[in-house]
Amino acid sequence: MTTSPYHPLPRVRRSDVGTILVSPWIVHTPERQRAAVDATIAEWEGVPWPTGFLTLNCFVSTDGERVLNYAQWTSDDEHRAFVRTARPKLVRGIDEVVPGIERPGVIRYRLAGSAIHPALPAPAVLIVIEDIAADDAQAAREWAELVLGTAVREQVPGRIATHVHIDLDGTRGMAYTEWTDEQAYTAFPAAAEPVDVLPPGVRHLGTRSYHLRKSLRRPSRPDA
């Protein structure tokens, strides 16, 4: 188990990932953020890990409001089997420790593409999540291409990588950017957003920055 509050961040591009589950929790205070993450990790450590489970990464937002759970699984079927069996008991255990967690829901994503800054070997300690909604899959694809193209052309100091995710329905998107630190992100407010102008049919839903609080990881294969 990785318990560092800052790194290492998940390997977004590991080859054995079949589905990415993203679940935001609204908890309202830094104290409840920490308690929710600690309870989540404790509950997971108390159950047998499902075969398809790869990683669970619990991020806390820098504004103290939210926990973001970013989980990597081999397939949706493996995760759905877990939801039917072990998940209800696990969630009850978390809610006993931190009652009143607001859970807007889990979104199933696929990685649409990544843009890596080759000249920044420093580890990333901050991620920034930008969420969008699209009228249809075509609009979402156009947004993804625009984000990745912009990230390749405009190599912002301190921005290590941009990973674009599209959900299974093709109507939600998430730009996940990795930064060397908060200072690098806040120093370039205009450049920090993946794109300034959205394509037609795409709506911006919000942007938040996060640090990794704790994670659980199944060892990956050498080629993963």
User: Among residues of the chain, what percentage have pLDDT more than 70?
Assistant: 90
Band of residue 5 on the pLDDT scale cut at 50, 70, 90: very low
Collapsing DSSP states into helix, strand and coil, what is residue 77? helix
Band of residue 3 on the pLDDT scale cut at 50, 70, 90: very low
Band of residue 4 on the pLDDT scale cut at 50, 70, 90: very low
Band of residue 165 on the pLDDT scale cut at 50, 70, 90: very high
Structure tokens at 1: 């188990």
The residue-averaged pLDDT of 2-9 equals: 53
User: Among residues of the chain, what percentage have pLDDT more than 90?
Assistant: 74
Mean pLDDT of the chain: 90
126-158 burial, b if ≥16 CB within 10 A, otherwise e? bbbbbbbebeeeebbbbbbebbbebbeeeebeb
The residue-averaged pLDDT of 151-160 equals: 89
Q: Which residues have CB under 8 Å from 202's CB, separation 6+?
A: 132, 133, 134, 135, 139, 140, 142, 143, 173
Distance CA 176, CA 50 (A): 26
Per residue in 17-67, pLDDT (tens digit) is 999 999 999 999 999 999 999 999 999 998 889 999 999 999 999 999 999
Structure tokens at 108: 């199933």
Distance CA 126, CA 211 (A): 5
pLDDT of residue 221: 57
pLDDT at 132 over 80: yes
Band of residue 6 on the pLDDT scale cut at 50, 70, 90: very low
Collapsing DSSP states into helix, strand and coil, what is residue 123? coil
Band of residue 85 on the pLDDT scale cut at 50, 70, 90: confident
pLDDT at 191 over 70: no
User: Which range in 84-88, 109-113, 154-158 is most confidently predicted, on average pLDDT?
Assistant: 109-113
Structure tokens at 154: 């405009």
pLDDT at 114 over 60: yes
